[in-house]
Structures are given as C-alpha cells and as structure tokens.
Amino acid sequence: MADRDNTPRLDRRTFVVRSGLLALGTLGASLLEACAPAAPATPAAGSGGTSSAGGGAVKLPTYVPFEGPKPDLPGNEKGLDPAFFKFPTDLVKSVPTPPGDGSTVTAITYLTLAPPPPAEQNAAWQAVNKALNANLQMEQVTGPDYPAKVNVVISGNDLPDFIYNPTITVPWGVISGLPAFVKAKCTDLTPHLGGDAIKDYPNLAHYTNYTWRSGVIDNRIYAIPIARPPIGPVMMYRADLLEKAGVQIDKAPTNADDFKRILQAVTRPQDNQWGIAAGQASYFSLTPNNAFSAIFRVPNNWKLDASGKLIKDVETDEYKAAVGFARDLWAAGMWHPNTPTYGGVINDDFIAGRFAFAPGVWGQYVQLWDIAAVRNPSARLYPMHPFAADGGKPYYQAGSGQFGVAYMKQQSSPDRVKMLLRIANYFAAPFGSQEWLQNYFGVKDVDFSFNGDGAPVLTEQGRGELTAVWRYISSPAYALFSANRSQEFAQVSYAAEQAMIAAMDTDPTLGLYSATAASLGPLAQDTLMSGVSDIIQGRRPIADLDSLVADWRQKAGDKMRGEFQDALAAAKA
C-alpha cells in the first residue's frame, strides 16, 4: 500500500521510469484503487474549467501544455500521457532562475523506501538546495507511521511549510478533521493558482483540471495534487502465456464468456499455473475502482440515478453479476488459490508465470514491465483494453488523477506564499526538462551516468540518495518512457491509455467530503468485503449479498450517502 519506489531506475537492474514517478503496491491492492475517486471529464485545454466540489464553482487552473522535447506520441489535456521512444537529448530549462529566497523551507513527507542520507551527506540533496536557493528540510516518515505522525505534528500546531496528505484509506487521506484543519491552518491558494494565475507557475500549469479537482475543498484551492493520470485500474495479462496455450486476443476479450474461455485455456494447476489472481486487500478485485468489476459496468464507486440519488456500486445489479462471475471462476478453479491471502509476493508470482491475468493499477503495470525485463525477459506483460461482459460498449472506471496532495501552512506574507509556490513549481518540472533530470537522478557522474542509449542510469550512490521524497511536495505530470523495449512500451501503453480514456466513467463524489466516510467508512467496507469474499469462495450463498449490503447501509452507507447528497446540493446552490 505505497507509491513504492517513486525514484526512476533506467538500468536493467532496477525498475521503472514514468516521468520520474513510479506507482506502486501489490496487485489489485494499491492506493490508487483504495483511495481517491475519479474526476469528471476535463474541460478543454486552456479553458481553466470550473469545479463545484463542496459548494459553488471555483475557477480551476488553466491547463497549459509543456513546451519541451517533442514526444513521439502526443499527450493531451484529457490525461493522455505523451510517449517517448527514446530518452530525449534536448532537455529544456523549465525554471530559468532559482525559485527560493535563501530561507529554510520545511516539509513533512511520506517515505516509501529506505531513508536517504541527510542533506549534509547527500550530493543530490545539496544540488537541489543549490538549485532552489533554499535550505530544504524534510521530515520523512515511513508509510505505516505516517498517519499517526502527521496528526501529532498538526495537533502540536508547529506546522512545516508543506504537509503531505496521502490518500491511503479514503479519498481525503489521513488527516483528522480535514476540512476544518485546512480552512483554519492552511493557505487558500485560489488567488495564486485559479484560472490564468497558474501561468506564473508553468510547471504546475501542466496538470490537467482532472488532477486539480482533488486540491479543492469548499470551493477553494487549498492543495497541490501529487499528479497522476486519470488512468487507474488495469487488467494486466501475460501474452506469452496465452500464446503457449494457443490463445490470442486483440487487446481484450470480446465478452465475459470469451474471457472465461481464455482463463480456462491458461489454467493448468498441474503446471503450477492459473488463469487469474488478485491481491488480498482487493477482495477478488471487487473493491471500488477495480478492473475486474468494471467488466460488468459496475459504477465507479458511486453513480447518480435518474432522480439524482446517489447509488453505491455494491447496491447495483451489475455488482451482483460481477460477484457471481467471480464465484463461478473460483468454483471452476481459475483463480489462483492464494488470491484470498495474497500479499506482496503476488508480483513475483505474476512475473514467474504462476497466472496469466492480474487486475491491478496503471503505475503498477509500468513498474512490472521493467521488473519483468530483468527477471523474465521472455515475458510479455501487456495492459488489456476495456471491454464489457455483454460484448457491448467498453467501460472503464477512471483513476483518481493524484496520489495525495500537499497543503501549505498559512504564511507570514504573500511574498513567501509565492516563493513556496515557485519551489513547488520547480519540483513539478516535467520529463524532458533539466530540472526533472536533477530531481530524479541527482548529480551527473556522482548519482548517475548515461548509458549507451543515452538514458540516465543511477549509480549505487544515486540509488541511496535519490530516495529523498521531495516528490511529495509536488510532482511532474506524467510521460511514458521505459528503457526496456522502449518503443514497444510507448506504443502499447499509449494505445491502452487511449482506449481507457475513451471509455472512462467518473465518480460524482470527487472533491466532496463525508465525515462518516472518513471515520466509519473503511471498517464498514472491510466488513462488507469480507462477506463478499466468503460468497466467492462458496462459504456463503450469493443471496447473502443483499443482507451484507443492508448491514453496510446501516453501519455507514446511508449516512455517507446523505452527507454526499447534501454536499452535491450545496455545490449546485
């Protein structure tokens, strides 16, 4: 459950680069899956669309494309990532002058790897401080300890300049009493970032409106999102295993029956190989925002019916059909038997060929592409395009567009707010910029060198130093690049993103806050999903789903619905 190893690693000993950002965790149990719901469709480029999350309409930042090295395949304002066949050689300088004023800048951030050496022993950190003209001091806290630590810091009222809020269990992250805290202690960034004001910070202007919505609370921009694309869940598959079984698919099965036929063909328990597996925390990929449930057009967390009432995904006939299909696959022996308990080893088993299909998340697919290139070069691990169980129009549950957000504490002057935003702008430098290279690879010939293909490769020193997590102050918009089969990766990934964006469905509750969802929602969800898992494994009849959902409504669901309905009504007022 972490944005595990956000540092790019372009050598064959290591894993992934995706505009310098790697995302994450165990199959089907990632943060992107468990956390933030998706945003509405993005307004046109340059429009600076509006968001009504939490009341009224705020002018979101104007989207401005990055004018850097020309990608081989262009991105767009809807969240389609630019793709590169080779690492660009014509890197641009996106921050012409040091953004800082020589002062100390503080942050509390989320540590996903081993702690880096302190700044005085860290060449990369020293280079960043020099480029910033600031003394960046970060309290870097490991993931399991972060919720408690950040709330202790907040309660002590000794706030750093930047406070990272990871979206781990709910869309609002781990900060207690979030709206009240933000409005009382954090800087309203709307005057600085809303509409065309964002153009003073051009790297932040590369974020889409989709991403910016997660920075809005009660009609004001309070946070800088840690940018991610709208691409979230994805069904990954091993094309090489399908080929060995005599099966071919054209980017996706035609319907649920075809999918079941394919799973049957690749299920060979005698060879220690099964059709499909999912991580324990995803409950057979039937938690909100998952690739398996999307096959049956299960709503993306919530949907609005014709009367304007919110309906939860688990309350729909589509969800019941998805549960029934998962149950049938379990009875037929197509799920890997470890699925109910699978932890981190699931990634290793997928690469080793223990199963052919794995519902996960997009950043995870990017990571596993490069891991497979190192551990199992014959593996062909691809993202499946969306499809529908009935063979009709494809359907896709959009991702969150962010991996948490960073708040800025209230500052002593508008000038310091602007200086800190310039710092955030520096860390948002996109792939293709000189700043990006420094932020993610450090000092040339110390932390990295260029390989024969012209791509940067971290040295042993760099692998230790570049775990520093300034990337959770702000982060670049994404680009698609891998040092492993780079052109194939770019083309395959880009085509999948196009298909997903074309079929994208969104969650109407994005940006809306429910105190009940934040407090009681996770436990009620886990209780429900434990029962769903029992149904799939044949320990309970499928008819029990109705009583499980009724219990969820009583414990938290109906109150959550009411709070979200009130927030929606306020947004229209």
Task: Encode pLDDT of 180-232 as tens digits.
Answer: 999 999 999 999 999 999 999 999 999 999 899 889 988 899 999 999 999 99
Find the range with the poorest average confidence among 12-21, 135-144, 422-431, 507-516.
Answer: 12-21
Instruction: Look at residue 20 and tell me whether its pLDDT is greater than 60.
Output: no
Mean pLDDT of 454-465: 94
3-state helix, strand, coil in the chain (%, to 5): 40, 15, 45
State both tokens at 5: 């190893």
* Rg, Å, the chain Cα set: 23
Distance separating alpha carbons of residues 229 and 496, to the nearest angstrom: 13
Mean pLDDT of 532-545: 98
State what percent of residues in the chain have pLDDT above 90. Answer: 77
CATH architecture of the domain formed by 35-229+402-430+445-475: 3-Layer(aba) Sandwich (3.40)
pLDDT of 58 reads 85
pLDDT of 510 reads 80
pLDDT of 170 reads 59
Mean pLDDT of 274-283: 94
Looking at per-residue confidence, does 167 or 498 come out higher?
498
Looking at per-residue confidence, does 170 or 73 come out higher?
73
pLDDT of 445 reads 97
Mean pLDDT of 123-145: 96
Give residue 112's pLDDT band: very low, low, confident or very high (50, 70, 90): confident
Instruction: Look at residue 459 and tell me whether its pLDDT is greater than 80.
Output: yes
pLDDT of 33 reads 30
CA angle 220, 222, 224 (to 5 degrees): 125
Distance separating alpha carbons of residues 363 and 342, to the nearest angstrom: 19
State what percent of residues in the chain have pLDDT above 70. Answer: 89
Find the range with the poorest average confidence among 305-309, 333-337, 416-420, 569-573.
Answer: 569-573
State which amino acid sits at residue 203.
N
Instruction: Look at residue 42 and tell me whether its pLDDT is greater than 90.
Output: no
pLDDT of 127 reads 98
Distance separating alpha carbons of residues 202 and 206, to the nearest angstrom: 7
Distance separating alpha carbons of residues 555 and 46, to the nearest angstrom: 44
pLDDT of 168 reads 56
Find the range with the poorest average confidence among 53-57, 532-536, 555-559.
Answer: 53-57
DSSP 331-379: HTT-B-TTGGG--THHHHHHHHTSEEEEEEEHHHHHHHHHHHHHH-TT-
Instruction: Look at residue 30 and tell me whether its pLDDT is greater than 60.
Output: no
Question: Cβ neighbours of residue 180 under 8 Å, at least 6 residues apart?
Answer: none
Looking at per-residue confidence, does 45 or 549 come out higher?
549
pLDDT of 113 reads 84
Domain ranges in the chain with CATH number 3.40.190.10: 35-229+402-430+445-475, 233-398+506-572
CA angle 196, 200, 202 (to 5 degrees): 90
pLDDT of 158 reads 86
pLDDT of 248 reads 87
Does the pTM exceed 0.95?
no
pLDDT of 172 reads 77
Give residue 22's pLDDT band: very low, low, confident or very high (50, 70, 90): very low
What's the CATH number of domain 233-398+506-572, 3.40.630.30, 1.20.200.10, 3.90.180.10, 3.40.190.10?
3.40.190.10
Question: Cβ neighbours of residue 145 under 8 Å, at least 6 residues apart?
Answer: none
Summary mean pLDDT of the chain: 89
274 beta partners: 355
Find the range with the poorest average confidence among 74-78, 93-97, 124-128, 534-538.
Answer: 74-78
